[in-house]
Structure 1
Amino acid sequence: MKGWDLTLDLRAPSPTPLFVRIARALEGDIRRGRLPPGAPLPGSRTLAESLGVHRNTVLAAYRELETQGWIVTSAARATYVSPTLPDVPAHPSAGVPRETLPTQVGFALPTTPSRRVRLEPSRHTLVLAGGVPDVRLVPSALLARAYRRALKLEGRRLLDYGDARGHPRLRAALAGMLSSVRGLAVGADDLLITRGSQGAVDLVARTLVTPGETVAVEGLGYRPAWHALQLAGARLAPLPVDGEGLRVDALEALSRRTPVRAVYLTPHHHYPTTVTLSPARRLALLAWAREHRVALIEDDYDHEFHYEGRPVLPLASADRDGLVLYVGTLSKVLAPSLRLGFLAAPRPFLEHALGVREAVDRQGDSALEAAVAELLEEGEVQRHVRKMRGIYQERRDALVEALGKTLAGALSVSPPAGGMALWAHCAPEVDADAWAQAGLGEGVGFSPGSVYSFDNRPVPAVRLGFAALKESELTEAVRRMARALPGR
């Protein structure tokens, strides 16, 4: 509590002397852990000023507590909670604050999607996390410089309430990137900056979906996006995915049974299998959406990392009818903790989304957005992407080679054309879930296919991220996977 005034509850029967009330309040706070053993206490003068009492009253309270063994005074006259607390029955007192937080709520809670069980590896575990960049290589010094400069030049404005759409420089820089690299004819006013791509999906769901409406999703897919849609009231309908991506014929069959409000999909590098939606299906999907007036939520989460051939342009680049709500992120380019995503959509939809955004979290981090805008304007982000694209391709190849040498009988894998992870199919005798669990004991973490299954059914595959680990670390991770393989 250093630097803050210490608030005490001094309510007690009026005949109780004030110094006794102060002593009992401090004793109660020590008992319930608010003031832990060894914690420093305010000086008598400071506490007297904050409580509005005479200093001698506080000194009397401290003497009372010291006599009972609750506090100690050092040679420098500093006062601390005693490291060894006395075993003294508590004083009965009305209105004393509770000793612990309640363990249960006193009201009914609604049903919400279950939280993801996050892997909590030891610091020695090598985690093949899919879709996670190597944050060790982020140009943090450049980002820190840009952040300091943004605060120096625009500090007052950046620290005040800002535009809910996001910093105009960042929106302009991202519009330039989307136009040049992804073929989207967008300007700064066609974009809204969000708290990561997850924030964009949540915003789309809140803006678009009325409770009870059906949203189609990929049957193997990104569970956090499903949860955001469900929290908005959507009824999710999973669709099969094969080697050409989402099965549009299954979507057409679904729409004959029930009206579909939207489709959420990852067409560039399908999450988690990395396949790309084929040209024929892209055309069929856009035609179907046009006919049925259905929104397409396109999550293009790692477009920058494509290694062979030309990356396929987003669905949004071919949208002439205002159907596609395009979601992207800088988390894969820079770092997940920056929480910078964006939504590109027709302006009437953005106007509705802005009303929702202002009610939910008002705006993003204006200073951070200005700093990243500077890095984009100066070409630093572009240089970082080119550098990381080469590094990640080498890491992809190293992981594929290590798997081929060490686990050829257990896994079959083809190098993905892009992305930051690969999808490996297990041999019939391999239990992917049991293998992943055993891997933690050997110091390697990876995800079995069931993590991405809509109904949590076992899937004979594993997703292995390669971007966050060096080549030597990837080779060692595969060795550990081999040791963990049941039956070896």
Structure 2
Amino acid sequence: MGKGTTLAVEVRPEGREPIFLALARAIIEEIDRGRLKPGSPLPGTRALARALQLNRNTVDAAYHELTMQGWLATEPSRGTFVATDLPDGIRAPPPARRVPVPEPAAPRPAGRPMLKLSDGYPDVRLLPTTAFAQAFRRALMSHAFASGGSYGDPRGSGMLREALSAYLRDERGLASSADDILVARGSQMALFLAASAVAEPGTAIAVERPGYPLAWSAFRAAGISVIGVPVDGGGIDVEALERLANGNRNLRAVYVTPHHQYPTTVTLGAARRLRLLEIARQYSLVVIEDDYDNEYRFDGRPILPLAARASDELPIIYLGSLSKLLAPGIRVGYAVAPPKLLRPMADRRVSLDRQGDLALENALADLLADGTIKRHARKARRIYHGRRDHLAGLLAERFSQVAEFSLPAGGLAIWLRLLGGISAETWATNAARLGLSVLPGLNFELETARPPEAFRLGFASLDEREQMRAIDILARSMP
């Protein structure tokens, strides 16, 4: 199939489905059937519109939707092609209805942050709000919700746990059933419940340094002492971890973010992963693996979690979040753990919060099952990839003499390391006066006497125009 040829497909809208979405769904079905293979060229919009007796704008809208979702790729002066990075063996769900993206909010008054280079939040404007609202309405009107005369399972909605089980199996290689999953109100609650499952008098946990301060707070709230282990360009220093485990008999667990280390974004390599698991096995440590943004891998395929490769006898609590995928305001996290750890987590959950938000959880189960969340992830990943590259270009152009960074393979932030003794804290204070909120390395360090002079710059929540404004303020506020 090449230039001047046409594509014979049957366009059959379902219900009130727009014609461009019906066409997009038909093309996805042809890709899924293997008739359109990765790299195959598609007809031009004019030729396909003429062949199918459709308006050219309809065909253009369908191509645009599929390009944003990652099914198609456009090459200037050459045309439109089936993407070459499609997953194998996955049935293609129908495309979601697009939701208009609102214009950025007007600047706030001087002296108050009008822009935020966050620590890595998703852009809430990309949320498929129409599909989400419809799913939530269905959940509220369902027989299961209306007939609920008592509290449900403290582990969360059975529908969501079943949907998560299938999702984690397909996307992350986890062979876990719904009985192995606990749903919590965000990853912070899941962290606290995980800590409470391993907490004993005098218990200590090893954490990455620099690392995630809210995790340290959760562990301390559960009565666990927090001990930092250095992070370098390859992730957590496993040799330092072994020395700690050998010298501290109270060490009960290790908390890691191996896929995209928080905050530095580095990925733990294969050799260190194997060594980490061996150390945990040798010293009987529980591994708490926080895989907070697994969906956002831009270069190469996502790396399987530790929990997908570890042997059954090694206890691992695997934590994930739908908030990073959808929006910070949607507080849904989850934990996957063996029964001996999941049971005490569920027991502690009852004392804190009898059950979760059943309607919200069932709505999310619906969106997982019908493919909406997977389609959203593909679309968001494509957009965030572009925003990562755009911010990286701005940083290289404006700050190459005073800072350096490694382009992250995934995640939603860049770790910018300052050179020449520049104080990140002073720079952040100056930026705040000009209307920009930015997080210095001090925010992520256990030993605050020697903080890393760096910034964690979240790029996902700002479009290109907003990024340019933020970097302009950052440049003007440099000490």
TM-score (norm 1): 0.73
Tell me which moved more, 147-156 or 310-319. 147-156
Alignment correspondent of 2:227: 237
Q: Answer yes or no: is the 8 Å Cα contact 1:133–1:334 preserved in 2.
A: yes
CA distance in 1: counterparts of 2:169 and 2:195, whole angstroms: 25
> 1:445: which partner in 2?
437
Q: Is the counterpart of residue 175 in structure 1 residue 165 in structure 2?
A: yes
SS of residue matched to 1:338: coil
1:354-365 superposed matches below 5 A: 354-365=346-357
CA distance in 1, matches of 2:195, 2:282: 22
For residues 172-217 of structure 1, the C-alpha deviation after alignment (integer angstroms, 9 at most, x for no partner) is: 1111111111111111111010111111110011121113211111
Shift of 1:348: 2.3
Alignment match of 2:328 (pick from 336, 350, 357): 336
Q: CA deviation at 1:362?
A: 1.2
User: Would the aligned equivalents of 2:112 and 2:432 in 1 still touch at CA under 8 Å?
Assistant: no
Q: Which residue of 2 aligns with 1:378?
A: 370
Mapping 1:310-459, distance limit 5 Å: 310-320=301-311, 321-456=313-448, 457-459=450-452
Deviation at 1:122, TM superposition (A): 6.7
Partner of residue 298 from structure 2, selected from 298, 307, 321: 307
CA distance in 1, matches of 2:149, 2:209: 43
**AA partner of residue 251 (structure 1):** L
- Supply the distance in 2 between the matched residues of 1:458 and 1:121 (Cα, whole angstroms): 29
Output aligned runs, 1:289-300, within 5 Å: 289-300=280-291
Residues 1:187 and 2:180 are matched in the alignment = no
Give the deviation of 1:157 after TM superposition.
3.8
In the superposition, the TM-score normalised over structure 2's length comes to 0.75
Task: Supply the distance in 2 between the matched residues of 1:328 and 1:191 (Cα, whole angstroms).
Answer: 11
Q: 441, 456, 464: which one pairs with 1:463?
A: 456
C-alpha offsets along residues 306-330 of structure 1, whole Å, 9 cap, x if unaligned? 0001111100011112421100000
Per the alignment, residue 468 of structure 2 pairs with: 475
3-state SS of paired residue (1:393): helix
Q: Is the 8 A contact 2:110 2:434 kept in 1?
A: no
Task: Report the Cα distance in structure 1 between the residues aligned to 2:289 and 2:226, rounded to whole angstroms.
Answer: 16
Separation in structure 1 between the aligned mates of residue 431 and residue 125 of structure 2, nearest angstrom: 24
CA contact (8 A) 1:239 1:250 kept: yes
User: In 1, Cα distance between the equivalents of 2:346 and 2:364?
Assistant: 22
Q: Which amino acid aligns with 2:382?
A: G
**CA RMSD, 1 decimal:** 1.5
Q: Structure 1 residues 156 and 275 mapped into 2: Cα distance closer, same or farther (>3 Å)?
A: same
Change beyond 3 A, Cα 1:281–1:383: same
Please tell me whether the aligned partners of residues 170 and 373 of structure 1 are also in contact (alpha carbons under 8 angstroms): yes
Q: What is the alpha-carbon distance in structure 2 between the residues aligned to residue 360 and residue 308 of structure 1?
A: 40
CA distance in structure 1 between the partners assigned to 2:290 and 2:116 by the alignment: 24
Name the SS of the counterpart of 2:335 in structure 1: strand
Deviations 1:251-297 (A, max 9, x none): 11112211210001111100000001111111011111111111000
Q: Name the structure, 1 or 2, with higher relative contact order (CA <8 Å, separation 6+).
A: 2
Q: Which has the larger radius of gyration?
A: 1
Other structure's SS at 1:469 match: coil
1:305/1:158 CA distance change after superposition, 3 Å: farther
Distance 1:471 1:290, change over 3 A: same
Work out whether residues 125 and 440 of structure 1, in 8 Å CA contact, stay in contact via their aligned partners in 2. no
**Structure 1 counterpart of 2:275, from 278, 284, 295:** 284
Given the alignment, which residue of 173, 183, 193 partners 1:203? 193
What is the SS of the residue equivalent to 1:337?
coil
Q: Is the 8 A contact 2:111 2:434 kept in 1?
A: no
How big is the shift at 1:458? 2.5
Do the aligned residues in 1 keep the contact of 2:111 with 2:432 (CA within 8 Å)?
A: no
Residues 158 and 366, structure 1, Cα contact 8 Å, conserved in 2: no
How far 1:124 sits from its partner (Å)? 5.9
* Aligned position for 1:275: 266
Written as runs of structure 1 = structure 2, the 5 A alignment for 1:33-48 is none
Amino acid at match of 2:273: R
Partner of 1:106: none
Shift of 1:144: 1.2
Is 1:264–1:297's contact at 8 Å kept on the other side of the alignment?
Answer: yes
**1: CA distance between counterparts of 2:451 and 2:203?**
28
> Matched residues, percent identical?
46
The 5 Å alignment of 1:117-132 reads 125-132=114-121
C-alpha distance in 2 between matches for 1:268 and 1:121: 38
Q: In the alignment, is the contact (CA less than 8 A) between 2:281 and 2:314 conserved in 1?
A: no
**Letter in structure 1 aligned against 2:451:** P
- The equivalent of 2:210 in structure 1 is 220
Distance 2:400 2:263 in 1: 21
CA distance in 2, matches of 1:334, 1:121: 30
Aligned residues: 367
Match of 2:239 among 246, 249, 263: 249
State the 1:121 CA deviation: 9.5
Aligned residue number for residue 141 of structure 1: 130
The alpha-carbon distance between structure 1 residues 324 and 440, as it changes in their structure 2 partners (threshold 3 A), is same
Q: Distance in 2 between matches of 1:211 and 1:231?
A: 13
CA contact (8 A) 2:174 2:307 kept: yes
Is the partner of 1:479 in helix, strand or coil?
helix
Unaligned runs of 5+ in 1: 1-119
